[in-house]
Amino acid sequence: MAYITDLSELDPQGTYTYADYLTWRFEQSVELIKGKIFKMSPAPSVKHQRISTKLLINVGFFFQKKNCDVFSAPFDVRLLDKEKSSRAHQDLYTVVQPDICVICDKTKLDEQGCIGAPDLIIEILSPGNSKKE
């Protein structure tokens, strides 16, 4: 399998799938939304991390006895697009990494992350990312 090691090797106007995403080995973190590449912000600020940590602890405690799993970024959530995705686990065009997500349906979990919508997603907005989020 040939890996892509630099974001410049990709066509920013191209449409990509989850299979493509799995071959990317560059430092810049990205999400794939409806086949389009979206660069993620660099490492979160201290304020963002403090908020995320407090939420993760409290959400984790709340769901501890509810047979649900709580995950924090980076954690791939793969979403099927009814128009583009023809089969589960294939032709996936959206891969996102929410700050925190809760999954209660264990059948949605595999070694790569979550396939399908989590039961709860928490995204911490920062200046500059609120339009995409």
pLDDT in tens, 71-101: 999 999 999 876 655 554 457 889 999 999 9
The distance between the two most distant Cα atoms of the chain, rounded to a whole number of Å, is 46
Residue 81 lies in a domain: yes
CA angle, residues 67, 69, 72, in degrees to nearest 5 = 160
Instruction: Please state the domain count of the chain.
Output: 1
- pLDDT at residue 93 in the model: 86
pLDDT class of 26 with cuts at 50, 70, 90: confident
In a domain, 112, yes or no: yes
The sign one gets for the Cα dihedral 92, 94, 98, 100 is negative
pLDDT at 47 over 90: yes
Residue 39 lies in a domain: no
Asked, for residue 132, whether it belongs to a domain, the answer is no
Reply yes or no: is the peptide bond before residue 74 cis, omega within 30 of 0.
yes
Position of tokens 């509810």?
A: 66
Structural domain for 55, as ranges:
46-85+96-122
* Within-domain flag for 53: yes
CA–CA gap between residue 108 and residue 116 (Å, rounded): 6
Average pLDDT of the segment spanning 12-25: 92
Cβ contact 113:121 at 8 Å: no
- Is pLDDT at 4 greater than 80 in this prediction? yes
Look at residue 18 and tell me if it is in a domain.
Answer: no
The answer as to whether 133 is a domain residue is: no
| pTM for this model (two decimals) | 0.83
Does residue 6 surpass a pLDDT of 70?
yes
